[in-house]
Amino acid sequence: MRSHAKRLPSRPVILLLQLGVLIAFFLIWHVLTDTKILSPFFFGTPGAVLARTWADFASGVIWYHLGITLLETALAFVIGTVAGIAFGFWFARAPLVSIVFDPYIKAVNALPRVVLAPIFALWLGLGIWSKVALGVTLVFFIVFFNVYQGVKEVSPVVLANARMLGASSRDLFRHVYLPSALSWVFSSLHTAVGFAMVGAVVGEYLGSAAGLGYRIHQAEGVFDTVGVFSGMLVLTIFVVLIDAAVTMIEKRLLHWRPQDTSGGQH
């Protein structure tokens, strides 16, 4: 006898339902703006947004801005991750350092990072580096806390076992601490990549000459709602694609983990 829990329909059916939700959303939007219940000036129309997006891709203008945002995201992610791993290890292995810096780390982490954007723009100019810096401040703390936790949470038995098997401190780092810390980093990968992107787009929005955030800001400045929605659409597609890529990487790298605990930790 099977349990009475409701069984979910098969995968193609679910995909079809998900597609249905998307179509329904655009349909409702279309009907509401077409009948003028919602003003097309403030809400755009799905047809115009799709046409604009298509035109941007067809003419190739959008690729340059996408490229800039992607570059900023990638740089923020890599720099933030490397710094987070290095500092996470250092703090976890040096208790005095971690105790002394603890209140400051918490204070900086509690600061809403958006307020740093103007400062970074002043320091680093309106080019990509002020956006990368903003992304780094977001990514760094996620990775830092995860690595710190990962190193601290290494099972003392696993550690003692490795030492009994003759592991030197270098071996312990390579075979025990690093894999443990990396598993925590990978499980926060979605959040980290997302924040790298937030840093890039918010930075662009607040002052730049290129990128998706810049495009949205420009459109907003001339009350071009269709342009704003088109920018959001491109951003959404872009995020979904990156997220799918991260899921694939995660599956490859964390295959040693039991499935039920592979959820995010952060």
Partner 1 sequence: MAEAAAAPALQLEGVTCTFPSPDGRGRSYTAVQGASFTVADGEFVSIVGPTGSGKSTMLNVAAGLLKPSEGRALTFGQPVTGINPKAGYMFQAEALMPWKSALDNVAAGLEFRGVSRAEARERALPWLSRVGLEGFGDRFPHQLSGGMRKRVALAQTLIVDPKIILMDEPFSALDVQTRQMMENELLDLWATDRKSVVFITHDLEEAIAMSDRVLVLSAGPGARLIGEYRIDLDRPRDVAEIRMTPQFLALHQEIWAQLRDEVLKGYAQTKLR
130 binds partner 1 (CB under 8 A): no
Window 174-213: residues binding partner 1 (CB under 8 A)? 175-176, 179-180, 183
Cβ at position 63, least distance to partner 1 in Å: 40
Determine the interface stretch with partner 1 among 24-32, 197-205, 234-242, 249-257 (rule: CB under 8 A).
249-257
107 binds partner 1 (CB under 8 A): no
Determine the interface stretch with partner 1 among 98-106, 193-201, 214-222, 251-259 (rule: CB under 8 A).
251-259
Cβ at position 108, least distance to partner 1 in Å: 31
- C-alpha–C-alpha distance, residues 67 and 173, integer Å: 37
Cβ at position 157, least distance to partner 1 in Å: 5
Determine the interface stretch with partner 1 among 114-122, 133-141, 169-177, 238-246 (rule: CB under 8 A).
169-177
Structure tokens at 49: 């947004």
Which of 13, 123, 155, 245 binds partner 1 (CB under 8 A)? It is 155
* One-letter identity of residue 256: W
126 binds partner 1 (CB under 8 A): no
Q: What residues have CB less than 8 Å from 114, skipping those under 6 apart? A: 202, 206
Four-CA torsion 73, 181, 243, 76, nearest 10 degrees: 0
- C-alpha–C-alpha distance, residues 175 and 167, integer Å: 9
- C-alpha–C-alpha distance, residues 171 and 157, integer Å: 16
252 binds partner 1 (CB under 8 A): no
Which of 9, 60, 258, 263 binds partner 1 (CB under 8 A)? It is 258
160 binds partner 1 (CB under 8 A): yes
Which of 171, 236, 240, 244 binds partner 1 (CB under 8 A)? It is 171
- C-alpha–C-alpha distance, residues 135 and 91, integer Å: 22
- C-alpha–C-alpha distance, residues 199 and 205, integer Å: 10
Query: Is the distance from CB of 68 to CB of 215 less than 8 angstroms?
Result: no
161 binds partner 1 (CB under 8 A): yes
Which of 8, 23, 157, 222 binds partner 1 (CB under 8 A)? It is 157
Q: Which of 105, 83, 77, 88 is nearest to 177 (CA)?
A: 88
- In angstroms, the Cα distances linking 28 to 21, 45, 75, 231, 254 are 10, 11, 39, 20, 41
Q: Is 130 helix (H, G, I), strand (E, B) or coil?
A: helix
256 binds partner 1 (CB under 8 A): yes
93 binds partner 1 (CB under 8 A): no
Cβ at position 98, least distance to partner 1 in Å: 19
152 binds partner 1 (CB under 8 A): no
Query: Is the distance from CB of 176 to CB of 159 less than 8 angstroms?
Result: yes
Which of 82, 114, 162, 239 binds partner 1 (CB under 8 A)? It is 162
Binding residues for partner 1, rule: CB under 8 A, are 155, 157-158, 160-168, 171, 175-176, 179-180, 183, 255-258
